[in-house]
């Protein structure tokens, strides 16, 4: 790569950067969908929720100013939860047949808030790596994966790939550096 890419979050704030939006949607769609499912939505409703959230993000992110002292994930979770609550209110206001208790009187569990920090980070890093893989040559990626992720000795990986040990370390460093750039501002 010839230039250092600007943080994905900063690039997404510019509506014209379609590649950044594609990466952002691919990165966050599974997580937002999962949050919807954890809140009790059926798959189709969770997919609708995900689309609603991205519609809001498309409108709000150009004015979004990232504050390193606050959590982007928290803001995204709040947007998702607000859409889920709006959906719940619409459903709860519908009358039920017979003598059933109104849905609005039932207790709800805020499962979105219960997501663990580790789960968020693991998901985001795994998705980013999955998306970024196509940006690297196969040997570079394999050196990173075998040594950096699987923990195999650099010398063993170098011998298998017919490269130097330094090339294995360099491959690992290149992928990790790019990962940091891609996730800058997204991991709080």
CB atoms within 10 A of CB 110: 11
Q: Nearest CA to 38 among 89, 84, 71, 73?
A: 84
pTM of this prediction? 0.55
Alpha helices in the chain (DSSP H): 8-12, 18-38, 43-60, 72-92, 117-132, 138-143, 154-161, 165-183
Contact (CB, 8 A) for 127 and 30: yes
For each of the chain's 188 residues, which pLDDT tens digit applies? 333 345 877 787 777 778 888 888 888 888 888 888 887 778 888 888 899 998 888 888 877 776 667 777 778 888 888 888 887 777 666 555 555 554 444 444 444 444 456 677 777 888 888 888 899 999 999 999 899 888 889 999 999 999 999 999 999 999 988 888 888 877 65
pLDDT of residue 93: 61
The C-alpha atoms of residue 139 and residue 6 are separated, in whole angstroms, by: 25
Q: DSSP letter at 148?
A: I
Instruction: Give me the half-sphere count of Cα atoms (radius 13 Å) on the Cβ side of residue 20.
Output: 19
pLDDT of residue 155: 93
The C-alpha atoms of residue 74 and residue 115 are separated, in whole angstroms, by: 11
Q: Which residues of 81-104 are buried (b: 16+ CB within 10 A; e: fewer)?
A: bebbeebbeeeeeeeeeeeeeeee
The widest CA-to-CA distance across the chain, in whole angstroms, is 75
Contact (CB, 8 A) for 136 and 174: yes
Radius of gyration of the chain (CA): 21
Domains and CATH numbers, the chain: 1-115 (1.10.1740.10), 118-188 (1.10.10)
């Amino acid at each position: 790569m010839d230039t250092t890419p600007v943080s994905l979050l900063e690039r997404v704030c510019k509506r014209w950067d379609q590649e950044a939006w594609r990466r952002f949607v691919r990165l966050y769609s599974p997580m937002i969908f999962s949050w919807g499912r954890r809140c009790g939505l059926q798959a189709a409703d969770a997919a609708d929720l995900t689309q609603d959230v991205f519609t809001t993000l498309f409108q709000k992110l150009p004015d979004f100013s990232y504050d390193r002292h606050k959590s982007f994930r928290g803001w995204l979770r709040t947007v998702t939860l607000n859409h889920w609550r709006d959906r719940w209110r619409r459903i709860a206001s519908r009358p039920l047949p017979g003598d059933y208790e109104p849905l609005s009187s039932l207790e709800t569990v805020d499962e979105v808030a219960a997501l663990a920090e580790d789960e968020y980070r693991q998901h985001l890093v795994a998705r980013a790596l999955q998306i970024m893989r196509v940006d690297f040559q196969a040997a570079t990626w394999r050196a990173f994966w075998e040594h950096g992720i699987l923990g195999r000795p650099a010398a063993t990986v170098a011998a298998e790939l017919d490269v130097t040990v330094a090339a294995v370390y360099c491959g690992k460093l290149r992928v990790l550096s790019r990962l940091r750039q891609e996730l800058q501002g997204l991991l709080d």
